[in-house]
Structure 1
Amino acid sequence: MKAVICVRHGPPDALEIQDLPDPVPESGEVVVEVSAIGLNFFDTLIIRDLYQVKPALPFSPGAEFAGHVAALGEGVTGFAVGERVCGYVTHGAAREKVVVEARFLARVPDDLDLVKAAGLIVTYGTSLYALRERGNLKAGESLAVLGASGGVGLAAVEIGRIMGARILACASSAEKVAFAKAHGADEGFDYAQGDLKGALKAFGGPKGLDVVYDPVGGDMAEQALRALGSLGRFLVVGFAAGEIPKIPLNLLLLKNCDARGVAFGTVARSDPAWLAGVVAELMEHARTGRISAHVDKTFPLERCVDALGEIAGRRVKGKVVLTTGR
């Protein structure tokens, strides 16, 4: 089988395509013939050894995938060879066959495209966990989403819409803002307009914003935090801007608000039963059209370098997915 391999830490063009033996499942494991692999911003970090998860070399990037069951290990029940599935592995999915513990797999409905299924788990799972379990978002509350046209940002807009929030989508161009509004945001703000804090305050009104969803970080984080109202929740999702902000903690005291970390991967790895419930919920949302599971671009597995370059260059609206032709 072909696999994308990180043999040394570095930029995407340091990745190699190698031929590897097909995996054999051990007890409790399943081999999946992979059709599609969802890529995420953290894949651009993990290959450079800049991510909190640090797999031993060599490894494949890619945390989520969809395909068909190819083989079952001893003791595996509930799955059959040929069945359509998707799964979560943190890293290692960018290859034609993946071996994974059965508890990290879920069935894909027949009426849901495998390419869409491959890009659902991380972005929408993160946003659902962030807004519902960490942010306690309620219907009618105000939600500002930074980086609203990217993978997790778009997911936050769509999940926020399902939850009944009023949503301000913030993005780096008028085109990206329009895209986020077309997917459910009530209003939009283009960073090029200048006064982000002013726009957030205006959207929040006299009581301030209820929730900020921030996968961007950098100098935008403090501006967004300052727009929160009393009992507001600032959700720390990631640092796509490349800079981890240093937030003055006195703001939390003065504004009587919270900053809350969102570590979807930590929860998913530690509680597969919880993950299975989340994935089943997201699959139902996708097949009924409540979320778009929008895939902006697909690339063949052999062009993983180009796909990661699109993500690193922030040229993506929604997801980038690799395909194997299987």
Structure 2
Amino acid sequence: MKALLSTRPGGPETLGLADVQLPEPAEGEVRIRVRAAGINFPDLLIIEDKYQFRPERPFAPGAEFAGEVSAIGPGVSAFAVGDRVMAMGLWGGLAEEACAKATQCFALPDGVDLDSAAALQFTYGTALYALRDRGALAPGETLLVLGAAGGVGLAAVQLGRQLGARVIAAVSSDDKLAAALEAGAEDGVVYPSGRLDRDAQKALSAALRDKSGPGGADVIFDTVGGDYGEPALRVAAWLGRYLVVGFPAGIPSIPANLPLLKSCDVRGVFWGAAMERDPAAYAATMRELVDLLEQGAIRPRIHARFPLSEGAKAIAELSTRAVRGKVIVTMP
């Protein structure tokens, strides 16, 4: 079978398509004939050895995928060969077939297409865990989403609306703002790209405060970090929650006096670790998201599709920061 392999640390240009042996599912695992794999920012980090986990090489990146079960490992009774499923691990999805723990697989109803399923788990799972479990977002509160046109950002916009919040989007271009507004944001701010000096940071805070309202943002969902983190935190409401989701712009420096002055919290969001620690909660989250998808209440926006032979281009697309929604890799 074919797999897109990382054989040495580096960017997408270091990945290569290769013939590999068909994997056999271990105890508690199933093997899946992959039809679609979602691409996420950690896929870029893991091939550069910059992620929290460093798998032994060679390995195929790709943390989430969807397809049909092709083999069952010992001890698995919840699935049968031919079942349509989505799965989430840490790597392995950019291959024609991949193994996954049965506890990290979820059966799909016929009404859910595999492309959408492959784009659902990482982004919407992260967003729902962040907003509800870590952010305690309540109906009527104001939610500020930084990076609101990316995969996780758009998921947060849609789910924020589902949870009854007023959603403000912060993005880096007018067309990204249009995408966020289409997804359900009430209003938004276009911020400058690149490094921000102190004047630019103050201007961004003023713009975010203007859109958030006099009380500020109850929950700040930050997928960007860098120089954007502090300006966003300054907009936090009294008892607000600043959610650290990601930092493609760099790890932000947060002045400790800001949480003190606002009595607000800075809360980390690590959906992958939470899923590993509580498989039952993961299953419940996936069930809820699949139901919302089947009802049409949420809908992943597919930015681009690439064949497996061009999987490196799919990962490289994320580094441009031009993605609006989700990039997926498809297999015939």
Query: TM-score, normalising length from structure 1?
Result: 0.97
Aligned equivalent of 1:12: 12
Aligned equivalent of 1:324: 331
Moved over 3 A (4+): none
1:33-112 superposed matches below 5 A: 33-112=33-112
CA distance in 1, matches of 2:265, 2:281: 25
What CA deviation, in whole Å up to 9, does each residue of 1:82-113 have, x standing for no partner? 11000011111111111112111101110111
Deviation at 1:275, TM superposition (A): 0.9
Aligned equivalent of 2:196: none
CA distance in 2, matches of 1:275, 1:231: 28
3-state SS of paired residue (1:123):
helix
The amino acid across from 2:112 in the alignment is: L
3-state SS of paired residue (1:56):
coil
The amino acid across from 2:240 in the alignment is: G
Aligned equivalent of 1:210: 218
3-state SS of paired residue (2:99):
strand
Q: Is the 8 A contact 1:178 1:188 kept in 2?
A: no
1:263 aligns with 2:270: yes
Q: 1:314 aligns with which of 312, 318, 321?
A: 321
Deviation at 1:324, TM superposition (A): 1.0
Return 5+ residue gaps in structure 2 as ranges: 194-199
1:304 aligns with 2:305: no
Q: Is the 8 A contact 2:112 2:293 kept in 1?
A: yes
Q: Is the 8 A contact 1:34 1:67 kept in 2?
A: yes
The amino acid across from 2:42 in the alignment is: F
Deviation at 1:74, TM superposition (A): 2.0
Aligned equivalent of 1:136: 136
1:116-155 superposed matches below 5 A: 116-155=116-155
The farther-off stretch of 294-303 and 190-199 is 190-199
Deviation at 1:15, TM superposition (A): 0.5
Aligned length: 324
CA distance in 2, matches of 1:289, 1:129: 20
CA distance in 2, matches of 1:265, 1:74: 25
The amino acid across from 1:51 in the alignment is: Y
The farther-off stretch of 44-53 and 211-220 is 44-53
1:219 aligns with 2:227: yes
Q: 1:199 aligns with which of 187, 198, 207?
A: 207
Aligned equivalent of 1:232: 240
Q: Is the 8 A contact 1:210 1:229 kept in 2?
A: yes
Deviation at 1:295, TM superposition (A): 1.1
The amino acid across from 1:224 in the alignment is: A
Q: Is the 8 A contact 1:235 1:259 kept in 2?
A: yes
The amino acid across from 2:149 in the alignment is: S
3-state SS of paired residue (1:219):
helix
3-state SS of paired residue (1:138):
coil
Q: Is the 8 A contact 1:130 1:262 kept in 2?
A: yes
Deviation at 1:78, TM superposition (A): 1.9
Return 5+ residue gaps in structure 1 as ranges: none
CA distance in 2, matches of 1:293, 1:205: 29
Q: Is the 8 A contact 1:231 1:256 kept in 2?
A: yes
What CA deviation, in whole Å up to 9, does each residue of 1:151-202 have, x standing for no partner? 1000000000000101111111001001100110000111149632112212
3-state SS of paired residue (1:139):
coil
CA distance in 2, matches of 1:283, 1:161: 17
Aligned equivalent of 2:258: 251
Q: Is the 8 A contact 1:6 1:59 kept in 2?
A: yes
What CA deviation, in whole Å up to 9, does each residue of 1:107-128 have, x standing for no partner? 1110111011011000000000
State the identity as a percent: 49
Q: Is the 8 A contact 1:203 1:209 kept in 2?
A: no
